[in-house]
């Protein structure tokens, strides 16, 4: 039995990045060998085990053979005759096909270390085309590594375009698409996910509502970048900067302007009512990908309210109260902070404006805090109940907003 550290742990160590999950491949062993050594079997489709002390994953070396369309259409073969190189050959990218022996020696049959040095994402072999999920994984790795200077090898991009053209991405389950999208939104450069899929002619198959934004013009005095798709990329990257690792904020940023794709051509480059028009595509996208309800709800309210937040200083105290109430900001106060963050990302996610101040965010948070500070028990102590209590609480909150603005 020979054990090797593989995959992301080796890759990230070579890049000097913090260690994440540690996965291992075991060569020359059977299932019974692993059980006899105290490992706990957890894999359903192929032999994966948890170490009895560390709970790290150990998988028997295996090969895969395509048996049907889609991400799950594979027959797996694992036995002691499968070599380490056989196992590494089935992996997606060369930078993920590096193994490290227990003595620290690297096993790198496909040149992954050189590709790491050259900052190139390159597929291992022609079997890449058999798994459509790898198109999304390529885009997700670019979202994580684009800031380090990574590019996609031309031959890999060509294969991704072939897979998209053949309709393979339609076989992906909604859960896997959302999983890759969420990981990308938690990355440093989510725009690279969108840009990569678009380069591969795959964005329309995965996120058609977002793909529809590219080429839609905006008013240059507000949007120097003009193109709504480019604006969306900039907003996603700004959201990642303001709320690192937060896919909830990221999803709202991604979808906040979906309504602009529905603006009638004769109204362009203005986008009157795009906030309301964006609600239906957000709901459709969220339902199709089975996105968590919390993400859908925040995305809807950010689409609906982002222009109101941009002009918060023009709103009357009663209107500010109504905005907070519409967002359920008294029962779920965190939503107002999230809304403020997404609106700041929208404002600063424009060409040349990444460093622009956005005092509206702090203004919204300050007015919300003032309204929250109103004590309902003090109003109840006046003997008020029912509708009278609700109206008195509303008036007190509006007065508090007015006082905070003075």
Residue partners of 52: CB distance under 8 A and separation at least 6: 38, 39, 40
* C-alpha–C-alpha distance, residues 234 and 31, integer Å: 49
Sign of the dihedral through C-alpha 124, 128, 134, 138: positive
Asked if residue 69 has pLDDT above 70, the reply is no
Strand order in the sheet with 106-107: 40-41, 48-50, 57-60, 23-27, 2-6, 99-101, 106-107
Confidence of residue 204 (pLDDT cuts 50, 70, 90): very high
Which pLDDT score, from 0 to 100, does residue 116 have?
Answer: 97
pLDDT tens, residue by residue, 10-60: 999 999 998 778 999 999 999 899 999 999 998 766 789 999 989 899 999
Asked if residue 77 has pLDDT above 90, the reply is no
Q: Is residue 217 within 8 Å of residue 228, measured between CB atoms?
A: yes
Asked if residue 68 has pLDDT above 60, the reply is no
pLDDT tens, residue by residue, 125-134: 988 998 999 9
pLDDT tens, residue by residue, 174-184: 999 999 999 99
For 1-121, CATH number out of 3.30.460.10, 3.40.30.10, 1.10.8.50, 3.30.70.20 equals 3.30.460.10
Which pLDDT score, from 0 to 100, does residue 375 have?
Answer: 87
Tell me the pLDDT of the chain averaged across its residues. 93
Confidence of residue 63 (pLDDT cuts 50, 70, 90): confident
The label of the residue with tokens 């602009």 reads 260
Confidence of residue 5 (pLDDT cuts 50, 70, 90): very high
pLDDT tens, residue by residue, 245-275: 999 999 999 999 999 999 999 999 999 999 9
* C-alpha–C-alpha distance, residues 153 and 280, integer Å: 38
Q: Which residues of 197-207 are buried (b: 16+ CB within 10 A; e: fewer)?
A: bbbbbbbbbbb
**Count of CB atoms within 10 A of residue 398's CB?**
19
Which pLDDT score, from 0 to 100, does residue 388 have?
Answer: 86
Asked if residue 214 has pLDDT above 60, the reply is yes
Distances (CA, A) of 49 to 59, 99, 125, 246, 403: 6, 18, 27, 31, 62
pLDDT tens, residue by residue, 97-110: 999 999 999 999 99
Confidence of residue 382 (pLDDT cuts 50, 70, 90): confident
- List phi, psi (to 5°) of 64: -130, 140
Find the mean pLDDT for residues 337-360.
97
- Residue from 233, 171, 169 nearest 201 by CA: 169
Which pLDDT score, from 0 to 100, does residue 201 have?
Answer: 97
Find the mean pLDDT for residues 129-146.
96
First to last CA, the chain: 74
Angle at which helices 247-255 and 174-185 pack, to 10 degrees?
100
The label of the residue with tokens 């076989």 reads 171
β pairing state of 48-50 and 40-41: antiparallel
**Count of CB atoms within 10 A of residue 164's CB?**
21
């Amino acid at each position: 039995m020979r054990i090797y550290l593989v995959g992301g742990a080796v890759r990230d160590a070579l890049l000097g990045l913090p260690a994440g999950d540690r996965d291992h491949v075991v060569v020359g062993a059977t299932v019974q060998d692993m059980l006899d050594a105290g490992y706990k079997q957890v894999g359903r489709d192929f032999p994966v085990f948890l170490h009895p002390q560390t709970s790290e994953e150990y998988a028997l070396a295996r090969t895969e053979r395509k048996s049907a369309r889609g991400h799950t259409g594979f027959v797996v073969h694992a036995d002691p005759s499968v070599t380490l190189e056989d196992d590494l050959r089935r992996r997606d990218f060369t930078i993920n096909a590096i193994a490290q022996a227990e003595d620290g020696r690297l096993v790198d049959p496909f040149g992954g270390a050189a590709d790491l040095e050259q900052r190139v994402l390159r597929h291992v072999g022609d079997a890449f085309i058999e798994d459509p999920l790898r198109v999304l994984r390529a885009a997700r790795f670019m979202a994580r590594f684009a800031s380090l200077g990574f590019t996609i090898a031309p031959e890999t991009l060509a294969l991704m375009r072939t897979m998209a053209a053949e309709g393979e991405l339609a076989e992906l389950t909604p859960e896997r698409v959302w999983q890759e999208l969420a990981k990308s939104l938690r990355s440093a450069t989510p725009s690279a996910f969108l840009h990569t899929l678009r380069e591969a002619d795959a964005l329309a198959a995965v996120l058609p509502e977002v793909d529809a934004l590219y080429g839609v013009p905006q008013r240059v005095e507000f949007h120097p970048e003009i193109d709504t798709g480019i604006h969306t990329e900039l907003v996603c990257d700004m959201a990642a900067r303001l709320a690192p690792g937060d896919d909830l904020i990221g999803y709202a940023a991604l979808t906040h302007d979906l309504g602009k794709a529905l603006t009638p051509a004769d109204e362009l480059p203005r986008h009157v009512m795009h906030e309301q028009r964006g609600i239906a595509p957000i709901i459709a996208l969220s339902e199709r990908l089975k996105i968590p309800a919390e993400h859908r709800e925040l995305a809807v309210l950010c689409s609906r309210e982002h222009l109101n937040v941009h002009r918060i200083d023009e709103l009357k105290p009663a209107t500010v109260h109504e905005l907070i109430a519409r967002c359920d900001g008294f029962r779920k106060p965190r939503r107002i902070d999230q809304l403020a963050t997404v609106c700041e990302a929208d404002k600063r996610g424009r060409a040349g404006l990444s460093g622009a101040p956005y005092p509206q965010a702090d203004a919204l948070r300050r007015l919300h805090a003032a309204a929250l500070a109103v004590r309902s028990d003090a109003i109840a102590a006046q003997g008020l109940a029912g509708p009278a209590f609700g109206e008195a609480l509303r008036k007190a909150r509006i007065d508090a907003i007015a006082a905070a603005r003075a």
